[in-house]
């Protein structure tokens, strides 16, 4: 197996390992994360014990701490994600929305089909409550209400697809915020693990996917309990979360993460016809045993770095001189003060001269004098 150079970036306490050539390879058509990930069959690192059997059309097992992929089956195969797409919804909206903001869902949001938390068109819900409902009970109504709080469905879908692109989840196309089947909507086992890993770097995300039971607001100041749909929470040792999904077209899908002895393993499965819970447990067990002992078959890549504004070229920018103040506004100028004094003296002198002339003309027999030209007789 060809060894590749890697670069490591710490994000939210996790080490994101990116092959140095990954960016260029993706530009010329090679699979994101490594050449071996382009295979449709099962790929597993040398030195590994036999993989557990899985009926999933695609799956992936990865070390979340290093990003190393330990085993996979058709990891970039595109499938309908069902409610596992809500992972992308949460990753996109958690940093954009104030979790204490109170919102009123529209009637359209309350009427969304499929799994729901039971919203009513009342202004009683915090964003925090809706994010809980989104990730705990897979509330399709909560997903639409959150999209409305973010400025509407069109804006939210644009944000979700931009976030997928930033994370290099290039198999993912979001057409809904809740994962209900839509033509052209897709993801992959690779992308779901990649997006979930980005989410796990957020404490809020970990809280939403890891809460087993919570109170949810109801009208008239009441509450009712909601319970997490992830059957492995509290059952599988070290289970953190993340999200399951199912529709008749997508079949079963799941992304799960567990932590033991300071290490985190992520497992994602897609298009599973039956119950996947037992298989996920076996894949997690295999991952914990394999990490550090097998040659990885690829890597979960790091997000695209955000572009920082560049500094002006040619040194610091010049500061334009302040415009000169109008003369009449510059009362504190000594020059203007002296000029005003001269004008005042001149005016006083002129007034005195006119008074003197009037007095002269009022005396009997007084005639004009040289220099009096222009003065009326």
- Please give the positions annotated as active site: 83, 86, 138
Angle at 88 between CA 84 and CA 89, to 5 degrees: 100
Q: Can you tell me the distance from the alpha carbon of 243 to that of 259, in angstroms, rounded to the nearest whole number?
A: 16
Instruction: Tell which residue, 124, 171, 107, 142, has the closest CA to residue 229.
Output: 142
Q: Can you tell me the distance from the alpha carbon of 314 to that of 255, in angstroms, rounded to the nearest whole number?
A: 51
Q: Can you tell me the distance from the alpha carbon of 290 to that of 229, in angstroms, rounded to the nearest whole number?
A: 28
Axis crossing angle, helix 86-93 with helix 203-210, rounded to the nearest 10: 140
- Per the CB < 8 A criterion, the answer to whether 236 and 284 are in contact is yes
- Per the CB < 8 A criterion, the answer to whether 190 and 270 are in contact is no
Q: Can you tell me the distance from the alpha carbon of 25 to that of 31, in angstroms, rounded to the nearest whole number?
A: 7
Q: Which residues pair with 103 in a beta bridge?
A: 125
Q: How many CB atoms lie within 10 A of CB 12?
A: 14
Beta strand residue intervals within 204-313, DSSP E: 213-218, 222-227, 239-247, 251-260, 263-272, 298-299
Instruction: Tell which residue, 193, 159, 195, 199, has the closest CA to residue 177.
Output: 159
Backbone phi and psi for residue 47, each to the nearest 5 degrees, phi listed first: 90, 0
């Amino acid at each position: 197996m060809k060894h590749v150079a890697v670069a490591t970036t710490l994000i939210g306490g996790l080490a994101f390992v990116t092959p140095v050539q990954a960016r260029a390879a993706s530009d010329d058509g090679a699979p994101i994360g490594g050449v071996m990930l382009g295979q449709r069959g099962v790929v597993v690192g040398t030195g590994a014990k036999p993989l557990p059997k899985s009926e999933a059309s695609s799956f992936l097992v990865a070390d979340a701490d290093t990003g190393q992929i330990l085993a996979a089956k058709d990891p970039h195969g595109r499938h309908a994600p069902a409610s596992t797409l809500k992972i992308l919804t949460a990753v996109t909206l958690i940093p954009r929305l104030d979790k204490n903001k109170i919102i009123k869902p529209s009637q359209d949001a309350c009427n969304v089909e499929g799994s729901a938390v039971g919203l009513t068109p009342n202004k009683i819900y915090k964003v925090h409550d809706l994010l809980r409902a989104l990730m705990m009970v897979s509330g399709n109504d909560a997903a639409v209400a959150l999209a409305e709080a973010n400025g509407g469905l069109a804006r939210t879908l644009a944000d979700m697809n931009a976030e997928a692109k930033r994370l290099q989840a290039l198999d993912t196309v979001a057409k809904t915020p809740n994962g209900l089947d839509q033509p052209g909507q897709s993801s992959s086992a690779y992308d779901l693990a990649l997006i979930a890993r980005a989410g796990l770097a957020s404490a809020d995300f970990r809280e939403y996917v890891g809460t087993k039971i919570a109170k949810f607001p109801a009208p008239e100041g009441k509450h009712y309990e909601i319970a997490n749909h992830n059957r492995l929470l509290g059952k599988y040792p070290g289970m953190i979360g993340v999200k399951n999904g199912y529709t008749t077209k997508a079949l079963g899908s799941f992304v799960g993460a567990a932590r033991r002895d300071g290490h985190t393993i992520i497992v994602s499965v897609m298009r599973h016809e039956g119950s996947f819970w037992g298989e996920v447990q076996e894949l997690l067990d295999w991952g914990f045993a394999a990490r550090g002992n097998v040659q990885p078959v690829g890597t979960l890549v790091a997000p695209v770095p955000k572009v920082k504004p560049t500094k002006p070229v040619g040194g610091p920018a010049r500061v334009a001189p302040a415009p000169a103040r109008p003369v009449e506004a510059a009362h504190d100028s000594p020059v203007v003060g002296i000029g005003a004094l001269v004008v005042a003296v001149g005016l006083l002198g002129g007034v005195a001269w006119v008074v003197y002339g009037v007095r002269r003309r009022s005396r009997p027999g007084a005639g004009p004098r040289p220099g009096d030209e222009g003065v009326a007789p």
